Amino acid sequence: MYVLGYGIGPLLFSPLSEIPIIGRNPPYIVSYAIFVLLLIPTALVDNFAGLIVLRFLQGFFGSPCLATGGATLQDVYSLIKLPYVMSLWAFAATCGPAIGPIISGFSVAAENWRWSLWEMLWMNAPIFLTLFIFLPETSSASILLRRAQRLRTLTGNPNIKSQSEIDQAKMTISDLTVEALWRPFQLILLDPSIAFNAVYVAIIYGIFYSFFEAFPLVYISTYAFNPGEMGLTFLSVTVGVVLATSWYWWYIYTIVEPDIRLHGLGSPERRLIPALYATFLVPIGLFIFGWTARSDVHWIASCVGIVITTIGIFLIIQCVFLYLPLVYPLYAASLFAGNDFTRSALAAGAIHFSYPLFHNLGVDRGVSLLGGLTVGCSFGLYALFFLGERLRARSRFAAK
């Protein structure tokens, strides 16, 4: 329910952040304040139904950083430096779910499940206060709107208007609401390249979350680890992300940046080149993990499979998250919101379907089934790379 909540939340908060009169900061600050406050009743609740509702609300109000964060970074950094900061943002989003079991594997066993929520409060409250005091507004449309308002007040000249005021002069509140809330779905339903990226990222994200069901079967049932030791195996995810980030930064610095300075940005599809190779790492790593998770094979072999899979997942998501804002710069927040909803919805489902999947088929065949799905998506990625220009030409949303 928490994962589902942070998939639904961006459908409201991210489009709102694209409305100039609101800007990026209010959705961040208001939702984050509610998220921090909800940690207290969640830690104290004494019935299961209440816990489920509160966890959903936590995910809902804690979601803007996962969707709008990419749009904020695009506001701040130039296109040539954007890959570096986007990879750091993706680093946190990927490693967060993996670091959680490392902490809770020991703290919850030593105390109780409520302890993990108090830890969340201790970590989030200082960050909220820091953002509340120091986070600047980054939306250019919102900044120019407020500048125009100040100049009108200072000069008394009512003709000083920002571009967003001119563009939205004839739009009603209902028009703005429909545009904001409908936009993420409209982008996915009416643009095939956006739809494919949303589905592909959703599948690999769902596979990532299915690991949470496979790990106990492999490391507790097969290798007799305790919960704390099993949590440490999630460090494999962090190792994979560190390796992927290091290579990606080297690739951007030594190949992409010099090429951009010499020949310009080129086609957006060039941002997908690393994914063309990384796409095969996901099924390779999955097959290694699934078929080495046996008592007669050392546990480190399955961890190597996790590392390889994570490298592939991280690079694919990184390339997609860089590709989409370049093709659809006017709808960055809505793009991330729609993408976040599809991947979070499937991830929430993965937590449920992975239990019968792995228990009925076994980890080996269950993981192989998931690996087969990613092989099919690899062909779609190559189609997007070679046909992307034609798709963009026919899109009503792409920058021309």
Convert the pLDDT of each residue in 191-203 to its tens digit: 887 888 888 888 8
Determine the Cα angle at 373 with ends 369 and 374, to 5°: 120
pLDDT of residue 56: 94
Instruction: Give 222-260 as a DSSP string.
Output: IT---HHHHHHTTHHHHHHHHHHHHHHHHHIIIIIHHHH
Convert the pLDDT of each residue in 42-79 to its tens digit: 999 999 999 999 999 999 998 887 777 877 888 888 87
Residue 176 has pLDDT above 70, yes or no: no
Nearest to 198 by CA among 207, 185, 211: 185
User: How many whole angstroms separate alpha carbon 331 and alpha carbon 337?
Assistant: 10
The overall longest dimension of the chain from CA atoms, in Å, is 81
Residue 243 has pLDDT above 90, yes or no: yes
Residue 364 has pLDDT above 90, yes or no: no
Residue 254 has pLDDT above 60, yes or no: yes
Amino acid symbol at 147: R
Dihedrals phi, psi of 141, to nearest 5 degrees: -65, -40
pLDDT class for 140, splitting at 50, 70, 90?
Answer: confident
Q: pTM score, two decimals?
A: 0.83
User: How many whole angstroms separate alpha carbon 93 and alpha carbon 64?
Assistant: 12
pLDDT of residue 376: 80
pLDDT of residue 107: 79
Helices (H), the chain: 2-17, 25-44, 48-61, 64-76, 82-110, 113-134, 140-155, 163-167, 173-190, 192-215, 227-232, 235-251, 257-263, 273-278, 281-292, 299-327, 332-394
Residue 266 has pLDDT above 60, yes or no: yes
pLDDT of residue 19: 79
Nearest to 317 by CA among 37, 94, 32: 94
Average pLDDT over residues 247-269: 86
CA 93 to chain centre: 6
Mean predicted lDDT score pLDDT of the chain: 84
Instruction: Give 68-81 as a DSSP string.
Output: HHHHHHHHHS-TTT
The CATH number that domain 2-138+171-394 falls under is: 1.20.1250.20
Amino acid symbol at 365: R
pLDDT class for 308, splitting at 50, 70, 90?
Answer: very high
User: How many whole angstroms separate alpha carbon 111 and alpha carbon 114?
Assistant: 8
Domain positions in the chain are 2-138+171-394
